[in-house]
Amino acid sequence: MTIALRRAGYNSPGVTDFNVARSYLNIVKTEVETASKWRFLYLTTSITTVADQPGYDLASDVLMPFQFWDTSNGRVLEVRNPEDIADLDPDEDQDGDATIVSITGRDTTTGYWEVRLHPIPSSASDTIKYRYRAFITEFTSAMDATDMAPKYPAWLQNALLWGTCAMIKEEKENATATVEWEKYTASINFGSGLNKEQSVPASISMGRADRASSFRFDMEIVPD
C-alpha cells in the first residue's frame, strides 16, 4: 500500500490514508480474484458426516464448490439441484451412504455455503472431500506488513498495486488514474495467459519431418 500511496502523491501517508488505501485494496482484490478462474485459488478440503444429519457448512473461504467425492466409500457424489432431492425423498427420511449432494444456499448466521447430502448419512465419520474455488479474506491493518507471497503469485501482485493506486487517484480526480488502470489490465491479461498454460496441457505440433508424405499398401492374393 505504501507504494500505491506514493504513486498517488502521498509521500508521508498517515493512518487515515492507509485505511482508505486498504479499503480500495479490498475492492480491487475481489475484482482480481473474479477476473479469471485462477488455478492458485483451487483448494481441497473435507467435511465429516454426522449420523442422521443431512446439512453441512462448507469452509469459510469457499467462493464456489464444484466437485465432491466420498473417500470412505470410494465414490464420486453427483451434484444435483435441491429440487431433485425433494423429488427423490419428499419425506426427507431416506438414509444410507450419500450419493448426491446439493448446494442449498448460505448459512444465515455465518454466511458460509451450505450443502445437503442424499441419502441422509446413516453413519458418522465418513469423509466427504470437495474441491472449490476460494477467495482470500479481506486485508486488515494487522496484515499491513504481511508478505503477499503466500496469498498471491508474484506475477499477479502488481495488479493489486495498480488497481489500488488507480482508485486512490480517481478519488482525487487525478487524470493519470487511467495509466494505472492500463497497467492493471496488462497485469490481469498476463496472469490470465499464465493461468491458461497451467490449466491446459501444451499442444504438440508436428514439424514437416514428422508428416508422412505418402503411404503404400502391398496386397498378396492368396488362392483358395
> Residues 54-66: what's their mean pLDDT?
95
- Residue 205 maps to a domain: no
Q: Give the C-alpha distances (Å, rounded to integers) separating 133 from 35, 166, 178.
A: 13, 27, 30
- Residue 64 maps to a domain: yes
- Give yes or no: residues 114 and 192 share one domain: no
- Give yes or no: residues 49 and 127 share one domain: yes
Instruction: Write out the three cell numbers for 114.
Output: 451450505
| Overall domain count for the chain | 2
Q: Which residues form the domain of 189? A: 2-38+146-198
How far apart are the C-alpha atoms of 163 and 131, rounded to whole Å? 29
- Give yes or no: residues 78 and 117 share one domain: yes
How far apart are the C-alpha atoms of 180 and 118, rounded to whole Å? 50
Residue 3 confidence class, pLDDT cut points 50, 70, 90: confident
Instruction: Write out the three cell numbers for 171.
Output: 478519488
193 phi and psi angles, rounded to 5 deg: -65, -45
> Residue 199: its pLDDT value, please?
66
Residue 196 confidence class, pLDDT cut points 50, 70, 90: confident
- Give yes or no: residues 51 and 101 share one domain: yes
- Give yes or no: residues 60 and 30 share one domain: no
Q: Which of 16, 75, 33 is nearest to 163 (CA)?
A: 33
Residues 126, 131, 135, 141: what is their CA dihedral angle, to the nearest 10 degrees? 50
Q: Cell numbers 423429488 correspond to what residue?
A: 87
- Give yes or no: residues 33 and 92 share one domain: no
Q: Give the C-alpha distances (Å, rounded to integers) separating 64 from 131, 132, 135.
A: 9, 6, 9
Lowest mean pLDDT among 76-80, 126-130, 158-162, 219-223: 219-223
Residue 200 confidence class, pLDDT cut points 50, 70, 90: low
- Residue 224 maps to a domain: no
Q: Which of 170, 191, 117, 153 is nearest to 9 (CA)?
A: 170
Q: Are the CB atoms for 17 and 10 separated by under 8 Å?
A: yes
- Which pLDDT tens digit goes with each residue over 139-193? 999 888 788 888 999 889 999 999 999 999 999 999 999 999 999 999 999 999 9
- Give yes or no: residues 57 and 116 share one domain: yes
**What angle separates helix 154-171 from helix 15-33, to the nearest 10 degrees?**
120
What is the distance of C-alpha 199 from the center of its chain? 13
- Give yes or no: residues 52 and 128 share one domain: yes
Q: Are the CB atoms for 152 and 160 separated by under 8 Å?
A: yes
Note the pTM of the prediction, 2 decimals: 0.78
- Residue 141 maps to a domain: no
- Residue 182 maps to a domain: yes
How far apart are the C-alpha atoms of 5 and 176, rounded to whole Å? 14
- Residue 203 maps to a domain: no
Residue 8 confidence class, pLDDT cut points 50, 70, 90: confident
pLDDT tops 50 at residue 212: no
Between 203 and 155, whose confidence is greater? 155
> Residues 6-20: what's their mean pLDDT?
90
- Give yes or no: residues 48 and 95 share one domain: yes
